[in-house]
Chains A and B, each alone.
Chain A
Amino acid sequence: MSSPFRTASGGRIDRTTTIEFTFDGQTLPGHPGDTLASALLANGRHQVATSTKLGRPRGIAAAWAEDPGGLVQVEEPFPEPMLLATTLELHEGLVARGLPGQGRLADVPDSARYDAVHHHVDVLVVGAGPAGLAAALSAARSGARVALVDEQSEAGGSLLSGTDQLDGVAAPAWVAAAVAELSRHPEVLHLQRTTAFGSYDDGFVLALERRTDHLGAEAPKNVSRQRVWRIRARSIVIATGAHERPVVFTDNDRPGVMLAGAARTFLHRYGVLPGREAVVFTTNDSAYDAALDLSRAGVRVQAVVDARPAGSPQRREECERAGIRVLSGAVVTGTHGVERVTHALVAPFVDGEVGAGSAIACDLLLVSGGWNPAVHLFSQARGRLRYDETLGAFLPGEQVEGLSVAGSAAGVLDLAGCLADGRRVARAALSHLAIEPGADDRLPTAPEPAVPAAPLVLWRVPDTSGAHGGSQFVDLQRDATVADIARAVGAGLRSIEHIKRYTTIGTAHDQGKTSGVLTSGITAELLGIPVQDTGTTTFRPPYTPVAFAALAGRDRGSLFDPERTTALHEWHVAAGAVFEDVGQWKRPRYYPEPGEDMETAVLRECAAARTGVGILDGSTLGKIDVQGPDAAVLLDRLYTNLISSLKVGSVRYGVMCGVDGMVIDDGTVLRLAEDRFLVLTTTGGAARILDWMEEWVQTEWPELRVHCTSVTEQWVTFPVVGPRSRDVIGAVFPQVDVSTEAFPFMTWRDTTLDGVPVRLARISFSGELAFEVYVNPWYAVPVWQRLLEAGRPYGITPYGTETMHVLRAEKGYPIIGQDTDGTVTPHDLGMAWAVSKKKPDFVGKRSFARPANQDPLRKQLVGLLPVDRQTVLPEGSQIVEFRADGQLPPPPVPMLGHVTSSYRSAELARPFALALVKGGRERIGDTVHVPVHGILVPVEVTGPVLVDPEGARRDG
C-alpha cells in the first residue's frame, strides 16, 4: 500500500517501517512518527466526521490540540471517546472512527494503571519550542533544579515545522543537540508527551504524561499508562507558543479548509501534502511561508489572497519569483464543495466592503488571521491579559509572582526573538531566586528576522451570501456561527461569559482555542466597543482534556479511602459476617446462619444477649488517653457532668456539648489514676473529639498541664453481654471476683490472662449485665476465642452493629448523630441528670439558659410504638397529628418531628422506634401518625426506655 499524498522524502517519520491502522472500517498505511491526522491526510482523507448539530462534513483544520474538528473514537487497543486525530500518535493496530461530537465510554474495565508523582524544582519550563528550549538550557546551565515539560512526542515545537537553520544546521539537529545537553545536567527532568494542563497557586502545576498510549497493544503492563506530575516550582517559565487564528467567512468549515501553519507542520514534520491545489488566505506575513513551502513541495498554489490593501511588498516579490499569484486587498468570501472544498470564492475587499468575486478551484484552502499567544496557564494562575491592537490578540498584561511568559506565548513571533526571550526570562527567574547564570550560556545563531508588514486584524469577512452569518462558523465543534453571536447580542447579552454560555462557543473539547478570541472580536464589533472591554472568558484547567482515570491515579477501589479493620477482621470474615461501613471502619453488621436474612439473624442475636450471652467486637470505639495533673480540670470543662469527683477504678457516663449547648458526643470515662483518664467516644466521634480537646487546650487553656493521645488502635474492646456474661468472665478470669459486690456496675479492674494485661469494665450499652474486655490487639484473637469457648455452654452468640443498635434503642440510649442532629441538647434527650448543677461553668452551659433552649415545644426524644404491632417505621419518616375532629389538618400539614431509629424488637415482640417530637414528653400516651407508603400509621408516643425501665437487669 502507498499513501498518495506522502512526499517522497523528508519529515520526522520512520519511512522504513509501515504500520497498518483502521479508520471507519478502512485499513490504511502509516509510519511511526505519524499522528492519526497526518496518516489520514497522507491517504487523502480530510473529512473525519460530521458535525454534531448540523451534520456538515468536518475535517482536519489544525495540526495539534487546537483542532476544533477532528474528533475520533478509539476502539482498539482500548476504547476511548473524544480524542483528537491530530494529537493521537499512530501505532500498529489502532482502530478508530470519526465522531459526530459525542463519544461513547468504554464498556470494558480499564485495566491500565495510572499514577502520580510529586516533583519540586527551582524552574519549571513549559514548552520545548525555541523559547522553552532556550529557557531550559539557560536554567540548566546555572545548575538549578529544572523541569522541562512538553506535550508533543518530541521536543522542538515550531522548529519541527519549518526550514530554519540554527548554528548553521537544520533546526531539528540543533534541537537534538539541545536535548542531549539537557540530559547531561543531572538536575534536569525533561518530559515529552507531557501536557501541563493546570497552573495553580504558589508555583503548583499539574501535568499529564502519556507514558504508553503511543505504544498501543505493545504497552508494557508494568508501566503506568498515564501519570499526573504534581510539580511545585519556585519559578515557572511559560513557553507554550501561539495558536494560529482563523478568519471567519461563509462555509469556512469544509474539509480542506486548514490553518496555514498546520499545512507547514504536515509538510515538514510528517511529509504530507495536505492537497494538490491550494489557495492561501491571510491577513499577515506568516502564511506566505506556507504558500512558498507548499509550492516548493509541488503543490500548485493558485493564489495568495491577502486582505491587506497593500499586502506585503517583500513577500509578494518572493511569491512572484516562485510563480505564485498574490491578490492584495482581497478576501475569501465563501467556498464550494461538500465533503471537500472545491473552490474558494475570492473578492476584492476595499474599506471593509466586499466587491464582486470569482471562484478559484482548489482542494486546500489555507487560512491565517494572525496568532493568539497560548496564555492559558498564565491566565489560570489569575494573570491578567491585555488586548494588543496590532496583533489582534490577548497578551500577558502584568507580572504574576513566580510566573513569567516567554516567546510567542508573550507575543514574540520571530525565531531569533523567541530564543532571546526564552533566555532573558529564564535568567530573570534565576536572578529572582538568587541563582547565578551558568558559564557559556550562549544562544544559537539564528536567521536575521525579516521585518514583517503590519498585520491586519480581521475577525470575519462580511457575509455576502444573504445568510447573515448563518454558515460563518466560529466554533466548528459546536456548530456555532456569527449568526449565533448576533442572536446573543440581540437578546441583550453583553458579557463575553454570557455569550459563551448562550452560544456554547468554547465549551467543546478544545475549549475555544481557535474560537475564543474570534468571539471576543466579533462581539466587540457587533456591540461597537473596544475588544479590550469585551475581554476573554475565564481560562480554567484543564488545558486539554484529562481522563478521570488519570486524575484518580492509584486512588481507586480499596485505595480510594483507607479501610480500617479490627484485629478480629479475619475471624469475622470466616464467621460469615455481613459487614457495614462505619466511617472508614469495616464492622460486622450481623452474622447470618444458613438460611437467615438480616431480620431473623438480628432477632436471634438480640434474644441471645437478653436471655443468655452475646459478644460484640467493639474495638472501633474511640479511645483517648488524657493525662496530666490538670486532666480532671479539662474534663470538667468539656463534659456537662462532673468528672473530677470520679474515683480511681470507677467509670462515669458523660455528655459533651458545643458552645451552643448542643450535644456533640457521649461516652464513658474511666479514671485510671488521679491524673489519668481513658475517655471513650463514639466510633465516628473519635478523631473529632480528640481535635476538640486539643483545640481547647491549645487555644483557650494553654496553662492546663494535660496531654490527650488517641489510643483507639492500642486496645481492642469486646463487650460480653447478657445474664450469663458473669459466668463467662468468671470462667476466663478466675482470679477476678465478678460478684456485683466486688465488681459493681460502672467500675473497672485490671487483671491478666496468661501474663497478658487485660482490663475489664462493667459498662453496659444494652441494659443487660455486661463486661467489656480490653486487651492489646496482638492478643485479640486468642482472648476472643477463650471467651467464645467459655461461653459455649451458654450458647454465646457473636452479634453485630445491628443488634447493638436494637439493644441500645430498646433502652432509649441515643446514638449521637443518628438520634441527634446538632440541634439537640442533653435536656432534649431526657438527660438533665447528666448536666451538672454544681459546676460554675462548662462548655455549653451558658447556652442552656437561652430562651430558645427553654422552649417547652423543643423536639424531645421519645419512643414510638406502631399500634398495628407490625409496621417498622422507615427512619426519617415525618410525624403528623390529627385535629380534634380526627381529620388531618389542611396542607401544609404541620410536622411534629421525625423518626430517628426504628427496629423490630425480639424482646417486645413488635417493632418500635425512637423519634424527636415537638414537646414529646408532654405527648406520652398520645397517638400520632406516621405516613408510610401513603398510609397514615397510628403510633403511640411512649417514654424512650421500652425494655427494663427500672434498670433491674444491669447486675444480672
Chain B
Amino acid sequence: MQLIACPWCGPREEVEFSYGGQAGVPYPADPAVLSDEQWAHYVFFRDNPKGRFAERWNHSAGCRRWFTAIRDTATYRFERVSRLDDPKPVT
C-alpha cells in the first residue's frame, strides 16, 4: 500500500484517499455557448496517458481537501502534490 503525501497532512496511507480524475478540466465559464461536441468533451473525454499525469485527489478520509498530484501512471509514483491555491503544476 502506497503512501500519498497530502499537501495539508503529509504522508498518509492510500486508502484514505479517493481519485478524482484528470486535473485542469475546469467547468466551462458559459456552457450554453458550447457546441454539443465541445460540451461532450468536457463531460465525457479525459486524457489517459502512460506516464506523467496531472490528477485530482481528495484526502477523503482525512482532511477532506482536494489537491492536485503529478503521478506517473506506469509506476504509480507520485512526483509532486500541490494545493489548489498553489500555482498550476506543469506535467
Contact = CB atoms under 8 A, between A and B. Distances in A.
A948 interface: no
B60 A698 contact: no
Nearest to A841: B31
B42 A202 contact: no
Interface string A58-82: 0000000000000000000000000
Nearest to B42: A659
B53 to A, nearest CB: 17
Interface residues of A, number: 22
Contacts of B1: 200-202, 204
Interface in B21-64: 26-28, 30-32, 34, 36, 39-40, 42-44, 56, 58, 60, 64
Interface string A201-220: 11010000000000000000
A846 B85 contact: no
Nearest to A845: B31
A698 B36 contact: no
Contacts, number: 53
Nearest to A659: B43
Nearest to A687: B60
Nearest to A846: B31
B23 to A, nearest CB: 9
Contacts of B31: 841, 845-846
Contacts of A840: 32
B42 A698 contact: no
Contact of A699 (B36, B43, B64, B66): B66
Contacts of B56: 699
Contacts of B65: 698
A851 B35 CA distance: 12
B84 interface: yes
Given A698-B65, A702-B84, A846 B39 contact: yes
Contacts of A200: 1-2
Contacts of A691: 58, 60
A660 interface: yes
Q: Which range holds the interface residue count of chain B?
A: 20 to 34
A851 B36 CA distance: 8
Contacts of A695: 20, 58, 66
Nearest to A401: B77
A202 B3 CA distance: 6
Given A202-B3, A699-B56, A700-B26, A850 B40 contact: yes
Contacts of B30: 841
A698 B43 CA distance: 19
Interface string A699-717: 1101000000000000000
A841 B33 CA distance: 11
Nearest to B77: A201
A849 B34 CA distance: 11
Q: Which of A202, A232, A694, A850: most chain B CB closer than 10 A?
A: A202
Interface in A671-714: 691, 694-695, 698-700, 702
A694 B32 contact: no
Nearest to A203: B3
B27 A846 contact: no
B3 A846 contact: no
Given A695-B20, A699-B66, A840-B32, 9 more contacts: A202-B1, A659-B43, A695-B58, A699-B56, A702-B85, A846-B28, A847-B39, A849-B36, A850-B40
**Closest 3 A-B residue pairs measured CB to CB?**
A846-B31, A201-B2, A202-B3
6 contacts: A200-B1, A204-B2, A702-B84, A845-B31, A846-B28, A850-B40
Interface of A: 200-202, 204, 232, 659-660, 691, 694-695, 698-700, 702, 840-841, 845-847, 849-851
Interface of B: 1-3, 20, 26-28, 30-32, 34, 36, 39-40, 42-44, 56, 58, 60, 64-66, 76, 84-85
